[in-house]
Each structure stands twice: as C-alpha cells, then as structure tokens.
Chain A
C-alpha cells in the first residue's frame, strides 16, 4: 500500500508542477488543482499509514493519528477556495487582456510560428 500511495502522490505532484509551468492559464489552474490534491494526500500520510485504525480512543486496537486528518480537512477547504478564486481570476484575465496566456499577451514569437511562411523562412 505504501508503494502505491507514494507513487500516486509523486506522479500527481510531478504532473502538477509540470502543468504549473505551462504558458496558458487553463493548464496552470489544472496543475494547481493537482498540486493541491497531492498536498492533501501527502499531509494525510504524515501521520503514518495505518489499516483499520480509528481516530477515536477506545473504539479499536489500532489508533490512527487524528491530527493530520484535521489538517487535511482545513487544507482541502482552503485549497478549494483558492482554486475557485484563481479560476475566476483567469477567466477575468482572459476577458480583460484578450489572451489566456499567463502573461496576458502572446509570446513575441508565437505569431511568427503560427503564421510561418511555407518553406521555412
């Protein structure tokens, strides 16, 4: 289970960071979302992974650490609000600036690449 968990968190973090480095707001927003999922799972695992553990005393033999669960709940709520904000902001940026590039304008050489003359030059 540990291996599966670690691979999931790692792949999700990697995808999140990769998408955050893209040039358009949509992939960046998706990347931020994935990064926040990865963070939540990571935070959850910081109390160590237990099977059949309860967070309340006296209910089972094994105990799971309840604090990371409380932290994850807080982090989920905050992360969700922040993602909602960034979605609205990037929609507004698209409307205000006329471009969905994170810089608010197309990169200088994008035009040349799209409308390149045939035969190279």
Chain B
C-alpha cells in the first residue's frame, strides 16, 4: 500500500506512450534551451531563490545545453529500442531510464559540487537497477562489482568535497574558482588534495586508466539498450573533468592552475593504448565496444590535457560523435546476438543471420564511423583533435597514438565483421530466429543518421563547440552571470 500507483499489472502500453511523450518533450526543451543559451548567453537558475554563492545553482552554458540535447537524443534512441520488448523482461524499465536521464541531465546542468554528488547518486542508483534489469548470472556478478566500486567512489567524492569545503568555505563552482587563488599556504595544500581526490572519482566514472577495469565486463553484461544508455555515463565523468579542472583549477587558479594536466597526459595515452589492445583481444562484439569506449575516453582526455580552448572545442565535437556511435554499436551487437542463437555476438563461425544484409550495412556504417573513415563523423572528430595539437612533442604523441590506434581499430572491426557476416556454416535448418523488430532498426538508424549529419552540418557544429569551449574557458563570464563580482 505504500506505493499505490505501482500496484497491479504493469500497463506497458500506457507506459510506452507516456515515456515516448516525455522523451520528445525533453528533446524539444533541450533544443529550446540550446537556442536560448546561444542567442542570450549563459543563464543560471537559483533553486529556491537562494542566490549564489549560498544556494544551489543550476547553470546552463552552451556546453551543458549541447550535452543535455545529446542525452535526450540518445534517450530517444534507447527508448525506441526498448519498445521491441526489452521493457517486458523486468519491471519498471521505462521509469528507471527516465531517472537515469534525469541524473545525467542534472549532472550536466548543476554548478554546485555537492549537488553534482547528489545527481551522481541519482544516475548511479538508476544505473545499478538498469544493469541487473532482466536478471542473469553475469548481470548479478558484474552488478556486484559495479555497485561496490561506485560506492567506494562516492565515499571518496564526499571526502574530497569535505576537504574542498574546509579549504575554501564554498561549494559553488564559480565561487570556488574565485577563492582558490586567494588561499593561504596550508589551505592551498588542502585544496590540492581535495582536487586530486576529485580526479579519482571522475576518473572512475569516466573509466580512465587505471580505473577502467570495471567497464568492459559491466557493459558486456548489460542488455543492449542499457549499455547504449551507459555510453553517455563515461562522458559525464569526462565532462566533470573538463568543468572542474578548467573552471576551478584552470588558468586563474594561481599556483594550483592546471595541476592535473601533467597527470592526465600520460594516463590518456596509456588509456588509448590499453583500450586498443583490449579491442584487438576482445572475444565478442560487446566487449569490443566496451574497449572502444575506453579508447574514446582516452582520446577525449588527450584533448583535455592540451589545455587550450581549441582542444576543448575539438573534444566536445568528438564527444558527441563517440557517444552516438558507440551507442549504435551496442544496439547493433544486441540485434546480432539475438539472431545468431547460441553463438550470440561471439566471434565464432556460426549460421547465417536472418537479416544479414540490413545488419551488415548498419555494422559497416558504424565501423567506418568508429574507425574514423570519411565521410562519417569519426573522421571529422579525430581530425579536429589532431589539428588541436600545437607543439611538436604534442603532435608526435597525438598523431602516432591516435592514428595507430585507429589502424588497429579498423583491423579489429574488419575481423569482427568478416567473422560474423561472411564466415557462415551451411546449415540445413532454417534460421528460426524471429526477424528484427522495426523498433530496434529505427532506433539504430536514428542514432546513426546523426553521424553523417554531424559531418554535413559540420561547420555549424564546430561553431557551437567553439562557443561552448570559449564559454567554458571564460571564468569572468561565469562569475558575471552568478553576480559574484563585488568589489574584487
């Protein structure tokens, strides 16, 4: 009796209509938010009208608005995919997806570190339930690891917040950015410790090396649409790294400015290398996609460690591309697994797929986009990151690491494609797998169409990401919007 609306038989029909309506409404709100922010500049909303630096502030600049739009768009694809029957495998899938999107959007929009923690917990508790949705041994086993890892991460997050609050006396990101350069010697050490502990948390969320071990197993265990939704979760960690270490510990932070860039640089390179080795060594399509996520995180962090506005802009463009494309790859691996019976998405010779041509074409497009071949968005994304390198040392490292990693990705993807689609055993039995649901195909196509659109309208996207990076690097603008400038 505690929860009257949740009693009785689940009415899937109504729930689907409602969730579809919600995600469309979200999409329109996100577009409206982006257009408002682009035309009127960043806005803030003081929750409960408690003005900064005291209250919780929601802050939308172009970067946040773009990421909220990306989340809503990804949510649309994921929700369409679940309409094919995934939401009947367990209860409350649709509400949980909405909770997850709420947490992700909140993390993108908040400008208060403690509120960021709260939104992290919202998205995490939704993701815990989503991960074990449907239930199986692998899901439970990887769920235990995932939950324990993230609970420890949450504790470290709170320790870091305590240290930072003790040192600066504020939790508002803008206010903290103004206080950090004015700290005395002992408080500066505390702020350094707090900032470094935050990096552990964000590194865990974004699966940065050496905190990436949970990722391939978790993503391989989750069901396809859930894994696709999780594709944006690592990006939440990357976004937080960009936000916190550009605004709070950025150029204006005195002796603490850019304190983590020298740590991130080698870690990003090693992330790409280890991720690429993982891609080559993966025994099935899901695990391979999980390792591709690690490679993309490494690429984003390399762009972060360059610490220029151009590099940030390049990273945001690549972020949009990699989220959508890896999500599409997860959806495709789900469909492939469904049609191959026992072989699932493992790289073994098995019977022919029922919808060989359709899935083959979709896989081919995704593979081209992931590996960074023109005319798809991966090419543009990687190109802008390569162009962002300035000095010769940076160029040498970035060019060699990203290009060699792309080459190995192409090799691994073509091996995967030939094994799954071309090397079939001749079987007398008809393939009795049911044909693909149109919901699933349309969901994948919607996510994939974004890839060529990113290229065709590349100039507009580059303009927006440039604007986003400019606003992210402009602390004065943030402080101006927050009305924090009083006499110095």
Where the two chains meet, the residues of A that have a C-beta atom closer than 8 Å to any C-beta of B are 16, 20, 25, 28, 32, 35-36, 38-40, 42-43, 45-48, 67-68, 71, 74-75, 78-79, 81-83, 85-86, 89-90, 92-93, 96-97, 102-104
Contacts and interface: CB of A to CB of B under 8 A. Distances in A.
B158 A39 contact: yes
Contacts of A42: 158-159, 162
Interface of B: 114, 118, 121, 125, 128, 132, 135, 137, 140-141, 143-145, 147-148, 151-152, 154-155, 158-159, 161-163, 165-166, 171
Nearest to B154: A82
B118 A90 contact: no
Nearest to A104: B141
Dominant SS at the A interface?
A: helix
Given A20-B148, A42-B162, A74-B118, A35 B140 contact: no
A43 B162 contact: yes
In order of increasing CB-CB distance, the 8 nearest A-B pairs are A104-B141, A46-B162, A46-B166, A39-B158, A43-B162, A96-B140, A35-B155, A46-B165
Nearest to A36: B155
Contacts of A16: 155
A48 B165 CA distance: 10
A43 to B, nearest CB: 4
Given A46-B166, A78-B121, A96-B137, A86 B147 contact: yes
Nearest to B158: A39
A102 B144 contact: yes
Given A74-B118, A82-B121, A96-B137, A90 B144 contact: yes
Nearest to B114: A71
A37 B215 CA distance: 28
Q: Which one of A28, A47, A78 has the highest number of Cβ atoms from chain B below 10 Å of its Cβ?
A: A78
A35 B144 contact: no
Given A36-B155, A82-B151, A89 B132 contact: yes
Contacts of B144: 25, 89-90, 93, 102, 104
A86 B145 contact: no
A20 B150 CA distance: 12
Contacts of A103: 141
29 contacts: A32-B151, A32-B155, A35-B152, A35-B155, A36-B151, A38-B155, A39-B158, A39-B162, A40-B158, A42-B159, A42-B162, A43-B165, A46-B166, A67-B171, A71-B161, A75-B158, A78-B118, A78-B154, A81-B125, A86-B147, A86-B148, A86-B151, A92-B132, A93-B141, A96-B137, A97-B137, A97-B140, A102-B144, A104-B140
Contacts of A39: 155, 158-159, 162
Q: Which of B118, B132, B135, B155 has the most CB of A within 10 A?
A: B155
Nearest to B143: A89
B128 A43 contact: no
B128 A89 contact: yes
A38 to B, nearest CB: 8
A108 to B, nearest CB: 16
Nearest to A68: B165
